[in-house]
């Protein structure tokens, strides 16, 4: 249907208008706060679990494991949100049959058709994506942040400039999605397929995708994902660091 990112952009705007670019946005907007709250909370829990004492400086492998724990925790909220978002995004405009009027309608119909199991279709695929991706995400951010602090000569204070924080967060987002994209493609295919298409879940998606499209099929959509990854995650970590600073400042006064 689409020859690439630019062709996809032009056809969506032509057929559905600018609003078509934001199709399925409501579900992630509602879920983004609890997802990232769980993500950073899970990372904090993970760091405590892998540390032998509270003041220990964690190594790369320990940061990786702590990030993986974060990926497990976010799946609870992530899977149904992704299921709804993907189903809404694959609905085509210009006269095509529209099954779901919006995220609430989609959720109600999924529950009616298959109950909670339908809402959580693709859970294993989401875990397959988020556990290694979150591990890479937080490990990259922490190691990049440490390297930037040392390069800037602020090792004594441990402080980063806003630009350095944005760079570390954006770079972490790039590597996060470099790891996540194959599993994300399989997850999206599984979550949008008619019931019964892949009876064994991701175990059926993998050979089918490999047979139909070859190895490059696992990286379909990587261009728009990477275009989004740097600015989105740069903003995410900047927001996290600012919120942390404000909370640390306010804590003694509460």
pTM of structure? 0.84
Q: How confident is the model at residue 123 (pLDDT cuts 50, 70, 90)?
A: very high
The CA-atom distances, in angstroms, between 80 and each of 7, 77, 84, 126, 216 are 29, 6, 6, 10, 27
The domain ranges of the chain are 13-121, 154-253
* Percent of the chain surpassing pLDDT 90: 56
Which pLDDT score is estimated for 157? 44
Closest CA to 174 of 146, 143, 140, 151: 140
Residues 48-76, mean pLDDT to the nearest whole number: 92
Q: What is the pLDDT of residues 230-253, one digit of tens each?
A: 999 999 999 999 998 888 888 776
At 167-196, the pLDDT tens digits run 999 999 999 999 999 999 999 999 999 888
pLDDT-based confidence at residue 56 (cuts at 50, 70, 90): confident
Assess if CATH 1.50.40.10 describes domain 13-121.
Answer: yes
**Cα gap 122→17, rounded to integer Å:** 30
Distance CA 125, CA 144 (A): 28
Q: What CA–CA distance (Å, rounded) separates 138 from 66? A: 8
Run of H or E residues at 29: helix 26-50
Task: Please state, as a whole number, how many other Cβ atoms lie within 10 Å of the Cβ of residue 152.
Answer: 13
pLDDT tens per residue across span 22-35: 876 776 777 788 88
Q: What is the DSSP string of 83-120?
A: HHHHHHHT---SS-----SSHHHHHHHHHHHHHHHHHT
Which position has the higher pLDDT, 23 or 94? 23
Least confident of 3-7, 38-42, 68-72, 103-107: 3-7
Average pLDDT, whole number, for the chain?
A: 88
Winning range, highest mean pLDDT, from 30-34, 121-125, 160-164, 220-224: 121-125
Tell me how crowded residue 106 is: count the other CB atoms within 10 A of its CB. Answer: 23
Residues whose CB falls within 8 Å of the CB of residue 208, separated by 6 or more in sequence, listed in order: 198
């Amino acid at each position: 249907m689409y020859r690439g990112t630019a062709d996809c952009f032009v056809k969506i705007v032509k057929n559905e208008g600018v609003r078509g670019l934001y199709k399925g946005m409501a579900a992630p907007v509602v879920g983004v706060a609890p997802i990232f709250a769980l993500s950073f909370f899970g990372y904090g829990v993970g760091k405590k679990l892998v540390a032998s004492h509270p003041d220990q400086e964690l190594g790369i492998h320990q940061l990786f494991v702590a990030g993986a724990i974060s990926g497990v925790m976010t799946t609870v909220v992530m899977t149904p949100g992704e299921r709804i978002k993907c189903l809404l995004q694959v609905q085509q405009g210009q006269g095509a049959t529209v099954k779901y009027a919006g995220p609430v309608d989609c959720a109600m119909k999924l529950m009616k058709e298959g109950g909670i199991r339908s809402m959580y279709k693709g859970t294993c695929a989401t875990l397959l994506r988020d556990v290694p991706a979150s591990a890479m995400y937080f490990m990259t951010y922490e190691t990049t942040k440490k390297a930037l602090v040392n390069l800037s000569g602020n090792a004594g204070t441990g402080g980063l400039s806003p630009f350095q924080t944005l760079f570390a967060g954006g770079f972490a987002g790039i590597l996060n999605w470099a790891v996540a994209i194959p599993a994300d493609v399989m997850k999206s295919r599984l979550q949008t397929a008619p019931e019964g298409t892949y009876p064994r879940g991701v175990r059926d998606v993998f050979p089918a995708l490999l047979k139909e499209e070859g190895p490059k099929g696992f990286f379909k959509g990587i261009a728009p994902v990477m275009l989004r990854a740097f600015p989105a995650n740069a903003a995410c970590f900047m927001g996290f660091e600012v919120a942390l600073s404000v909370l640390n400042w306010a804590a003694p006064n509460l």
